[in-house]
Amino acid sequence: LIYIINRRSFGWTLQMQVDPAPFLTALAVAVVAALLAGIYPARKMGQMLAAEALRHE
């Protein structure tokens, strides 16, 4: 839509270039954060006995 309006009204267009680096960086940070947020509690609960873990529930 922007392409059509600019082309008809002004005679020029906007060239959109998307740099994938920020998206990949954000994805990597999100994956690492999710892994760290899940691994710590899982390891902590894995070291407990089942009865003790249920008692803490």
Q: At residue 52, does pLDDT exceed 90?
A: no
pLDDT band at 55 (very low <50, low <70, confident <90, very high): confident
Q: Whole domain around residue 24: which residue ranges? A: 18-57
Look at residue 4 and tell me if it is in a domain: no
Look at residue 34 and tell me if it is in a domain: yes
Look at residue 22 and tell me if it is in a domain: yes
pLDDT score for 25: 98
3-state secondary structure of 57: coil
Say how far apart CA 47 and CA 41 lie, in whole Å.
10
Look at residue 13 and tell me if it is in a domain: no
Read off the pTM. Answer: 0.54
Look at residue 9 and tell me if it is in a domain: no
User: Which position has the token pair 């390891």?
Assistant: 43
Q: How many domains does the chain have?
A: 1
Look at residue 12 and tell me if it is in a domain: no
Residue-wise pLDDT tens digits, 6-39: 777 777 666 778 899 999 999 999 999 999 999 9
Look at residue 28 and tell me if it is in a domain: yes
Containing H/E element for 13? Answer: none
pLDDT score for 13: 64
